[in-house]
């Protein structure tokens, strides 16, 4: 038996006892594997776990000929009746009856008779599969799976095997002790909760995404749209003369996000500034940050070095970019924007020092 918290077990036992109309103690004993199943008629106990026999070698041997026994006239008549009861096509019913007969190792007629409501359930007397049986290893966190079952007359799955719910032809009367129309919870089976994901639920202060987060996002989105439209109305994107490969503008500058690199190029060898810095430092170095910084803390006071280094990087790239954008004039020589003007076309319309 898997380890289920006592309270959970008790609740499901109570529900089951109520549904079956048997004392709770009996159900509990049964669950603990100390007593035979309290299943009254199997029809009211359609849970696959208790009804479906363990397909042991013996039963398989016994039930080798599922269609055996009973004349074919018999079968046809029963089939017709069962189909009428279940309200389903004969062919389908036959297939499910055969499957059930094979699974239980009983003759087909018996199954059909049962389906037609003429015989007691054909369930072979096999000890119910205890839920934990299939999983001998200790379960870390078992979970109870309950199904909601209407206790009003409704077809209850007793087809057994794979076709369980579909084939149940016999309407079951509400179990004793349950008032008409009351829905009961039944413990269908106990499965081992073997999570596919690691569930480490830590208590967190959470709020609903709607409306709290969505609202913030919506406002941010509107603000950004507004900013972009205002910018685009006020500032014309540059368009110079048509491209002319024979006429090199002086200076030629890269887009601003590469200007820091271009600035570096004027100090260092191109192998360093043009290749090593962007790929090794920029790309690979940045990707490696989480693997190099092994300090687990996220508290700023514990990360002084990391914060300092990143801030130096930020300040450095900002300085280089601003230098490249504003302080480089003809021939990429140093110049003062307020004296010599701005040599950066994206900015021409934005700032002027007239």
Partner 1 sequence: MANGNGKTGLLERVRERTSEAVDRLRGSQFVESVLRPGSPFKKGYADSPRNRSYVIMNNVLYHLHPVKVKRHGVKLSYTLCLGGLSFFLFILLTITGIFLMFYYAPTAERAYADIQALSTNVAFGSLVRNMHRWGAHLMVLTVFLHMSRVFYHGAYKPPREFNWVVGVVLLLLTLLLSFTGYLLPWDQLALWAVTVGTNMAGFVPVFGDQVKFALLAGVEVTAGTLLRWYVLHVLFLPFIIVIFMAVHFWRVRKDGGISGPL
Nearer to partner 1, 200 or 339 (CB): 200
Handedness of CA 48, 53, 55, 61 (dihedral sign): negative
Cα 285 to chain centroid distance, Å, stands at 34
Q: How far is the CB of 242 from partner 1 (least distance, A)?
A: 4
| CB nearer to partner 1: pick between 127 and 254 | 254
In whole angstroms, the minimum distance from the beta carbon of 302 to partner 1 comes to 9
Integer Cα distance of 110 and 120 in angstroms: 9
Return the number of the residue (127 or 220) whose C-beta is nearest partner 1. 220
Judge whether 93 and 79 are in contact, CB under 8 Å. yes
Q: Which C-beta is closer to partner 1: that of 173 or that of 314?
A: 314
Residue 109 to residue 66: CA distance in whole angstroms: 9
Distances 277 to 183, 283, 317 between C-alpha atoms, Å: 70, 9, 12
What does the alpha-carbon distance between residue 175 and residue 226 come to, in Å, rounded to a whole number? 66
Measure the CA–CA gap between 94 and 100, rounded to whole angstroms. 10
SS3 label, residue 212? helix
Nearer to partner 1, 137 or 244 (CB): 244
Minimum CB distance to partner 1 smaller for 186 or for 328: 328
| Minimum distance from residue 248 beta carbon to partner 1 (Å) | 7
Q: Cβ(268)–Cβ(252) under 8 Å?
A: no
Residue 297 Cβ vs partner 1, minimum distance, rounded to whole Å: 7
Query: If you ran DSSP here, which 8-state letter would residue 128 be given?
Result: B
In the complex, the smallest distance separating the C-beta of residue 71 from partner 1, rounded to whole angstroms, is 54
Render 96-147 in DSSP notation, one character per residue.
Answer: HHHHHHHHHT--HHHHHHHHTTSS--------B--GGGG--SPPSSEEEEEE
- How do beta strands 183-192 and 142-150 pair? antiparallel
Question: Residue 250 or 352: which CB sits closer to partner 1?
Answer: 250
**Within 10 A of 44 (CB to CB), how many other CB atoms are there?**
19
* Residue (54 or 225) nearer to partner 1, CB: 225
For tokens 């599969």, name the residue.
Answer: 129
Least Cβ distance, residue 343 to partner 1 (angstroms): 12
Shortest Cβ 205–partner 1 spacing (Å): 4
Q: How far is the CB of 280 from partner 1 (least distance, A)?
A: 11
């Amino acid at each position: 038996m898997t380890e289920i918290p006592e309270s959970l077990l008790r609740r499901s036992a109570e529900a089951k006892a109520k549904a079956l109309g048997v004392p709770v103690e009996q159900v509990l004993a049964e669950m603990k594997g100390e007593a035979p199943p309290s299943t009254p008629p199997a029809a009211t106990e359609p849970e696959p776990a208790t009804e479906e026999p363990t397909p042991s070698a013996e039963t398989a041997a016994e039930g080798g000929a599922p269609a055996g026994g009973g004349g074919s006239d018999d079968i046809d008549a029963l089939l017709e009746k069962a189909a009428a009861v279940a309200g389903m096509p004969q062919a389908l019913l036959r297939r499910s009856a055969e499957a059930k007969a094979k699974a239980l190792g009983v003759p087909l007629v018996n199954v059909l008779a049962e389906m037609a409501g003429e015989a007691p359930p054909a369930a072979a007397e096999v000890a119910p599969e205890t839920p934990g049986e299939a999983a001998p290893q200790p379960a870390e966190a078992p979970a109870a799976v309950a199904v909601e079952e209407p206790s009003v007359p409704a077809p209850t799955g007793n087809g057994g095997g794979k076709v369980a719910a579909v084939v149940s032809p016999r309407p079951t009367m509400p179990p004793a002790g349950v008032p008409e129309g009351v829905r009961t919870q039944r413990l269908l089976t106990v499965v081992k909760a073997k999570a596919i994901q690691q569930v480490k639920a830590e208590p967190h202060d959470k709020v609903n995404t709607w409306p709290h987060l969505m609202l913030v996002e919506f406002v941010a989105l509107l603000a950004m749209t507004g900013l972009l439209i205002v910018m685009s109305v006020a500032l014309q994107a540059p368009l110079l003369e048509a491209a002319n490969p024979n006429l090199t503008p002086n200076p030629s500058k890269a887009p601003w996000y590469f200007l820091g690199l271009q600035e570096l190029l004027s100090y260092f060898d191109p192998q360093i500034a043009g290749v090593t810095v962007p790929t090794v430092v920029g790309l690979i170095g940045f990707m490696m940050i989480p693997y190099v910084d092994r300090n687990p803390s996220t508290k700023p006071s514990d990360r002084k070095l990391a914060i300092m280094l990143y801030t130096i990087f930020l300040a450095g790239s900002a300085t280089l970019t601003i230098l490249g954008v504003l302080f480089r004039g003809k021939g990429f020589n140093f110049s003062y924007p307020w004296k010599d003007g701005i040599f950066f076309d994206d900015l021409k319309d934005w700032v002027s020092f007239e």
